[in-house]
Chains A and B, each alone.
Chain A
Amino acid sequence: MKKFFWLLPLFVLMAAALPAQNDAIIRFFNQYMEDERFTVVSVSPKMFSLVSKISTDDEDWEKFREVVGDLTGLRVLTSDSIDNGVALYKEALSKVPAGEYSELLTVRDGQENVRIWTKDNGNIINELLVLVGSPDEFVLLSLTGKIDLDKISYLSKDLDIKGAEHLNKVKKEKD
C-alpha cells in the first residue's frame, strides 16, 4: 500500500509530462496566432468528419473523401512576406521534441529548408508535421488523424491552403 502511495505521484507526473512534449508545438502556434505577419488556418475534426460523410459518384471526390475521412485536424501557420523566415524555422526546429517525432524528410534547396516529421503509434501515423523556412517564407503545418503517407500528397492539390503544397514532398520522398 505504501509503495503504491509513492508510485501515485510518479504516475501523475508522467501523465503530465507526456502531453507537455506536444505542447511545445501548440505553444509555438499560439505564440504567432495573433501576429499579423502570419496567416493562420485551422480546420476542425467536425469539418473533416462532415466532408467524409459526403458521398458522390465522382472518383476524385471519393479519393479526397477517403483521405480526409481519417483526419482529425489541420493547423497551418504560414507567411510568405517575412524577413526572418530562417530564424523562425530554427526557433520552431528547436521546439520539435525529437523523441516524439521521427524525421521523414529533410530538404535543403538553396535557401529553402524543408523538414517533415511523423508521430506514430506502432504502424499508424498520428501526426504529420511540416516545417518550411526560407529568408522570406515560413510554414508550420500540423495534420492529425490516421495518416496514410501514400494518400496524403493528394491533399496538396485539393486543399487550397498556403503551405499545403509541401505535402506533395511526402510522396516524392516515398517514391
Chain B
Amino acid sequence: MKTYLLSFILCLLGLNLSAQDYGLYWKYKDYDGAIAFSVPRWAIHAGSWFAEEKTERKLIRKVRKARVLVFEEQDSPVTKRDVEKFSRKARKRHLESMLSVREKQTRVEVWAKERRNKLRKIVILVREPETFALVSLRTKLSIDEIGALLKELPKEFKDKNKDGNSEERLLPPSVRSVIRI
C-alpha cells in the first residue's frame, strides 16, 4: 500500500514539474547547445545578497523558483509549433498573455498568472532565428508589493540618471526595455 501511495505521489510530482513550463523546458533541456538550469528558492535567496540595491534584493527574494532555457548562436531547435503548443498548454493552466512584441525577426512574449492579487508565475519567451530564451519564474509577488517596489524604482532610476537624461519615466527600466525591443 505504501509503495502504491509513494508511486502515486511521485507521479503527481512528475506531472507538476513538467507542467510548470508547459513542456518546453523538459523537451529541450538536454539538447546539444542548450543552456538549461533551474534555480531553487534557497539559491535565489543566497544570490539576492549580491544585488546592489535594496529594491532589487527584495524583488529577487520574491522569486520562488527560476528556470532558464537558452539556445545561443545556433539554429534553435524550438519550432513555431512548439511555441504554439506552449501557448495552448499555458492558457489551459490559466497563464495569460500580457504583452507581445515582434521587431524584425525578434519576438518577445510575456505571460503571467495572477491569482488572489498575487503574481504566481511569469514566463518570458524570446525568439530569434539563432537564439531562443525561456525564463520562467514562480513568484508570490502581491500587487501591493509591486506597488511598493514601483515607488522605490523610479526614485532610484531618477537618481541614477540625474546627470544624463532628465526625462521622467514611470515604467521601470526592465519593463521599458521589454517594450522597447
Contact = CB atoms under 8 A, between A and B. Distances in A.
Interface in B133-177: 143-144, 146-148, 150-151, 154, 168-171, 176
Contact of A56 (B147, B168, B171): B147
Given A61-B170, A160-B180, A42 B99 contact: yes
A168 interface: no
A106 to B, nearest CB: 29
Interface stretch (A8-16, A20-28, A46-54, A126-134): A46-54
B96 A44 contact: yes
Interface in A133-171: 158-161
A159 B101 CA distance: 14
Interface stretch (B9-17, B31-39, B59-67, B102-110): B102-110
B170 A46 contact: no
Interface stretch (A33-41, A83-91, A110-118): A33-41
Interface string B112-144: 101001010000000000000000000000011
Given A36-B104, A39-B102, A43-B99, A161 B147 contact: no
A47 B109 CA distance: 12
Interface in A58-78: 58, 60-61, 64
A36 B101 CA distance: 12
B150 A46 contact: no
B176 A160 contact: yes
B150 A56 contact: yes
A57 B151 CA distance: 7
For this complex, into which size category does the number of interface residues on chain A fall? 20 to 34
Given A53-B117, A61-B150, A160-B171, A36 B98 contact: no
B98 A46 contact: yes
Contacts of B146: 54
B181 to A, nearest CB: 9
Given A36-B104, A60-B168, A46 B96 contact: yes
A58 B101 contact: no
Contacts of A47: 98-99
B105 to A, nearest CB: 6
A55 interface: yes
A159 B180 CA distance: 9
B100 interface: yes
B112 A46 contact: yes
B179 interface: yes
10 closest cross-chain pairs (CB), A and B: A47-B98, A39-B103, A56-B151, A46-B96, A56-B147, A40-B102, A54-B147, A53-B143, A42-B100, A158-B170
6 contacts: A41-B179, A43-B99, A46-B97, A47-B98, A47-B99, A61-B150
Interface of B: 96-105, 112, 114, 117, 119, 143-144, 146-148, 150-151, 154, 168-171, 176, 179-180
